[in-house]
Amino acid sequence: MLAIRDLRAAYDGIEALRGVSLEVQAGAMVALVGANGAGKSTLLNCLSGIVPAAAGSVVFEGEDITRVSAHKIARRGLLHVPEGRQILVDLSVEENLRLGALAARQRARRETMDTVLALFPILKDKLRQQAGALSGGQQQMLAIGRALMGEPRMLLLDEPSLGLAPLVTDQVFAALRTLNAGGLTILLVEQNARRAFLSTSWAYLLDQGTIAKDGPSAALAQDAEVIARYLGHLAAGEG
């Protein structure tokens, strides 16, 4: 579904991606794990066309999208839920969702809104409220719901658990697993490596702009080096 070959990109003059290659199969839920500053967000921004690629290629569903502009990538069905949610705080919840339907165009279906509200029932009661008035967890659900309105073929998620209480994070991840079970391909960037390994089938480890390791998530979770570097004390604290 998504194939990245030797992708290079600079962010703020720093070479953040130094030849990244990875692949996501259709229907898979894949984790991308790495320390702060490893280039995870830059990689997603590069895939969705926000950060231009310096070299390499991104192929989505057989078509090269390396130089395609961001809004056209979204309209092709590769939707990016950015870090920090980036909901439109001055617009109502409903307006945020309707805006999301823009990416769908000919794929748009009338019942999508109901599907999204069924997945995140909390949003249903808040349709008329300003999106900025929502709590962090609700904003994350809105950000995902808004992307789903675009009838995505594949979802890029950047740190969906950032700043959320564990219980809310559980809800968000449960929703993601439901979506994946329904056939949606997901690439998940997550700082909480343990949680990422638990909910995905395959994982890539990004280190200083290159893929350091990849393998089945369950195997990586047992890997001594990975445990030492990314799970460490986190592993002891959560479970």
Partner 1 sequence: MIAQQLLNGLITGSVYALFALGFTLVFGTHKILNLAHGSVFMSGAFAAYFAVLNGLPLWFAMVLAMLCGGLVCYVIELAAFRPLRSRGQIEFAALIASIGANLMISSLAQRISNTKVLRFPFGTFPVQFYTVMGVRISLLQIVIVCVVAILLAGLLFYMYRTSFGRQVRAVSGNERAARLLGVSPNVVFFQTFFISGALAGMAGVLIGLSFNSIHFLMGEPYLLRAFVVVVLGGLGSITGAVVAGLLLGVIQTLTVAYLPTGLSDAIIFSLLFIILLVRPSGLFGSAITATAARRQ
Using the rule CB under 8 A, is 194 a contact of partner 1? no
DSSP-derived pairing of the beta strands 185-190 and 29-34: parallel
By C-beta, is 86 or 178 nearer to partner 1? 86
Question: Cα–Cα distance between 39 and 222 in angstroms, integer?
Answer: 24
Nearest distance from C-beta of residue 213 to partner 1, angstroms: 29
Question: Cα–Cα distance between 39 and 192 in angstroms, integer?
Answer: 16
By C-beta, is 139 or 217 nearer to partner 1? 139
By C-beta, is 96 or 180 nearer to partner 1? 96
Using the rule CB under 8 A, is 12 a contact of partner 1? no
Binder among 98, 107, 177, 213 for partner 1 (CB under 8 A): 98
Number of chain residues interacting with partner 1 (CB under 8 A): 28
Exposure string for 197-229, b = 16+ CB within 10 A, e = fewer: bebbebbbbbeebbbeebeebeebbebeebbeb
By C-beta, is 129 or 208 nearer to partner 1? 129
Nearest distance from C-beta of residue 170 to partner 1, angstroms: 26
- The answer to whether residues 201 and 28 touch, using CB atoms and an 8 Å cutoff, is yes
- The answer to whether residues 4 and 22 touch, using CB atoms and an 8 Å cutoff, is yes
Site string for partner 1, 146-185 (x = CB under 8 A): xx--x-----------------------------------
Using the rule CB under 8 A, is 90 a contact of partner 1? yes
**Nearest 10 degrees: CA dihedral of 33, 62, 8, 208?**
10
- The answer to whether residues 133 and 93 touch, using CB atoms and an 8 Å cutoff, is no
Using the rule CB under 8 A, is 74 a contact of partner 1? yes
What backbone torsions phi and psi does residue 198 show, to the nearest 5 degrees? -65, -35
- The answer to whether residues 202 and 27 touch, using CB atoms and an 8 Å cutoff, is no
Using the rule CB under 8 A, is 70 a contact of partner 1? yes
Using the rule CB under 8 A, is 83 a contact of partner 1? no
Using the rule CB under 8 A, is 89 a contact of partner 1? yes
The residues of the shown chain that bind partner 1, judged by CB under 8 A, are: 48-50, 69-72, 74-75, 79-80, 82, 86-91, 95, 98-100, 102-103, 105, 146-147, 150
